[in-house]
Amino acid sequence: MKNESKNMTRRSFIGTTGAVAAGLTIIPASVVSGLGKRAPSDKLNIAVVGIGGMGNSNLRAVAPT
């Protein structure tokens, strides 16, 4: 029986930790935090320019009830 130790090189360590860090940034916040929580990126911001006449009508159409 040979006692073979697996040595990790600095290059493979950096590559592995970089891949894990990149993978964690891809996962949405709602998955990491758990169910029932909304990610900040799920909020839609709408801006309306020129409120008057048709613009006012458009604003009322998209406003939350």
Look at residue 37 and tell me if it is in a domain: yes
Question: Is the distance from CB of 27 to CB of 37 less than 8 angstroms?
Answer: no
Look at residue 55 and tell me if it is in a domain: yes
Cα separation, 58 vs 51, whole angstroms? 9
Q: Give the global pTM.
A: 0.36
∠ CA 42-59-51, rounded to 5°:
130
Domains: count for the chain: 1
Look at residue 5 and tell me if it is in a domain: no
- pLDDT tens for the 65 residues of the chain, in order: 566 657 889 999 999 999 998 887 887 766 666 666 666 777 777 777 776 788 788 788 877 76
Q: Identify the pLDDT of residue 3.
A: 61
Q: Which amino acid, 37?
A: K
Domain that residue 22 falls in: 10-62
Look at residue 31 and tell me if it is in a domain: yes
Q: Identify the pLDDT of residue 4.
A: 60
Cα separation, 65 vs 61, whole angstroms? 9
Structure tokens at 26: 């891809």
**CA-based torsion, 19, 22, 28, 31: positive or negative:** positive
Look at residue 3 and tell me if it is in a domain: no
